[in-house]
Amino acid sequence: MTTILLIIATFSGYILMYKLYGKYIGNKIFNISSQAKTPSVELQDGVDYVPTKKEIIFGHHFTSIAGTGPIVGPAIAIIWGWLPALLWIFLGSVLMGAVHDFGALIISMRNEGKSISEFTSKYVNSRTRFLFFLIVFLVLWIVIAVFGLVIAIIFSMFPESVLAVWLQIPIAVYLGYLIYNKGKNVLFWSILSVIALYLTMAAGNFLPIEMPAVLGIPPTGVWTIILLIYAYFASVLPVTTLLQPRDFINAYQLLIAMILLTLGALLAGFSGHLEIVAPAVQLTPADAPPMWPFLFITIACGAISGFHSLVASGTSAKQVRNEKDSLFVGYGSMLIEGCLAVLVIIAVAAGIGMGYTAKDGGTLFGVSAWTTHYASWTAAAGLGSKISAFVVGAANMISTIGVPHSIAIVIMGVFVASFAGTTLDTATRIQRYVVSEIASDLKINIFGNRYISTAFGVVTAAVLAFATGADGKGALTLWPLFGAVNQTLAALALIVITLYLKTKGGFKWLVSGIPALFMAVMTLWASIMNQADFCSNQKYFLLIINGIIIIIVVWIVVEGLVKFFRPGNSEKEIQPE
């Protein structure tokens, strides 16, 4: 019964906060207007700047910011207990994450769809733009390399998902053709496309695809190469060809998955089969770092994530056709992601107790199932461990409504892989934007070509992925930095939003200023603790990179404070390229 109450309370809370706080921020703080000109209309080019219906751009934005983030973070942070994780997900998403995402989106829309690293020069100064660019490039560099590996791991763990994930691409391309070239009804053909996707999932259950080693390259390495090649082509195509229709399908897939999870949780809860087996609070789990501040960098997507500001000011700002739509897209997407993160908490706190296969092949239930998987921080570490905890728990819940457990596993495997794929090629496209913008400032005209700038993003990611060997796991070298760097980016984005609101007068800046202060303290605290750990364990490469990041962050925070307290803080408008 506790799980039912948690779902009802959090979901109702999200609806209420969207109608009250979200609309207050949109209408009273940012003064959004349906009469404002948007970049998608003014700069329409049919490739990146494309005016889009809010339902479609919502699908793109949500599936891009979600990825595996709201799954991986909660699935490991629950080791400190489900209550701290749940509180941070709810309060963080409503008061910080949604403000961060919406603020980055609307400011970008009012600056020609420029990325946040570019319009930083307008609201802070030109020095910070280059420092911000370094942080953004690092985040995207890691994301592209790691998410290729994430999907490869999912394919290895759940080979039944491979067929459906790849067949989704031609289904999406055909959907885009019907909508944009033939003028067919979006809703009707999208529903048919989703039905086709679920038929491929059923087929995948009988036709699992396992990648063999090729030329001495392990399966994960082979998949990583294929996925990076895919990301290149997906990211240079017009958004109407693949990105929008695929993400619209994924939005429906998300809705169906969340409905299945919710129904499964409610039915299992009412029947007494779904009980929370994780501790409410566990302050000192074995081998784990302290909950403060690491909870706030472990759960990013689902509460607040700096990567979201890159999507908002990267692809989404170039497609929103009406400024009024930005609230639904920016603020609304973050709250839906919060709902997903809540369901993940339920799956790994309760669903896993309905049946868990241990390494020795035995099946465990209840508290013993949870404590076996989460015996220590080390035991629960690794991308595969986090993903499997969610997939197993979710499949257990979905099977209570009559879906065969094997099919439920495929559904959730495709769900996770599809969202990771969306994040992969969206991150690649955003990396292209960022590289092109900074190259334009430096007068390096060759990177103005989208094929060359995209190739630069993919090749550099490949170098990172294969830096340690043919298995494609090189990005895991920098993975210990990612949580803190990503949340640092969120703090820096909130600082820029705060400076923007400061120019509007009054105390509007408080809605982002307080979250900016909180995130800056938490992430710098975590980064400094990481620095001490890297030093004591003689991880000199991480020590150097993390040290540089800390210096950059402190510099930008100081520049932001100076700008905040300086009278008449206005910068000249960013000139069109």
| Residue 376 scores a pLDDT above 50 | yes
Confidence at 63, pLDDT banded by 50, 70, 90: confident
Least confident of 124-133, 272-281, 556-565: 124-133
Mean pLDDT over 331-344 rounds to: 94
Q: Report d(CA 235, CA 212) in Å as an integer.
A: 27
Q: Report d(CA 374, CA 371) in Å as an integer.
A: 5
Within 158-239, residue ranges assigned H as helices are: 162-180, 186-206, 219-236
- Secondary element (H or E) of residue 76: helix 69-77
Q: Give residue 251's pLDDT.
A: 80
Q: Measured in whole angstroms, how far is the alpha carbon of residue 131 from the centre of its chain?
A: 23
**Phi and psi for 473 in degrees, rounded to 5?**
-100, 15
Q: Give residue 1's pLDDT.
A: 58
Q: Give residue 568's pLDDT.
A: 60
Extended strands (E) in 495-560: none
Burial of 247 (0-12, 13-18, 19+ CB in 10 A): buried
| Residue 280 scores a pLDDT above 90 | yes
Return mean pLDDT, the chain.
89
How many CA atoms are closer than 13 Å to the CA of 325, on its beta-carbon side?
A: 22
All structural domains of the chain, each given as residue ranges with its CATH number in brackets, are: 2-565 (1.10.4160)
**Phi and psi for 52 in degrees, rounded to 5?**
-135, 145
pLDDT tens digit string along 511-567?
999 999 999 999 999 999 999 999 999 988 899 989 988 998 899 889 989 988 886
Q: Give residue 576's pLDDT.
A: 38
Q: Give residue 379's pLDDT.
A: 67
Confidence at 333, pLDDT banded by 50, 70, 90: very high
Mean pLDDT over 83-101 rounds to: 97
| Residue 385 scores a pLDDT above 50 | yes
Q: Give residue 533's pLDDT.
A: 92
C-alpha torsion sign, points 544, 550, 552, 554: negative
Q: What's the per-residue H, E or C state across 9-63?
A: HHHHHHHHHHHHHHHHHHHHHCCCCCCCCCHHHHCCCCCCCCCECHHHHHHHHHH
Confidence at 466, pLDDT banded by 50, 70, 90: very high
Mean pLDDT over 246-253 rounds to: 83
Q: Which residues of 500-537 are buried (b: 16+ CB within 10 A; e: fewer)?
A: bbbeeeeebbebbbebbebbbebbbbbbeebbeebeee
pLDDT tens digit string along 187-241?
889 889 999 999 999 999 889 999 999 989 999 999 999 999 999 999 999 988 9
Percentage above 90 pLDDT, the chain:
50
CA proximity to 150, closest of 474, 383, 357: 383
Under 8 Å between Cβ of 498 and 512 = yes
- Secondary element (H or E) of residue 357: strand 356-357
| Residue 103 scores a pLDDT above 80 | yes
Percentage above 70 pLDDT, the chain:
97
Q: Report d(CA 229, CA 235) in Å as an integer.
A: 10
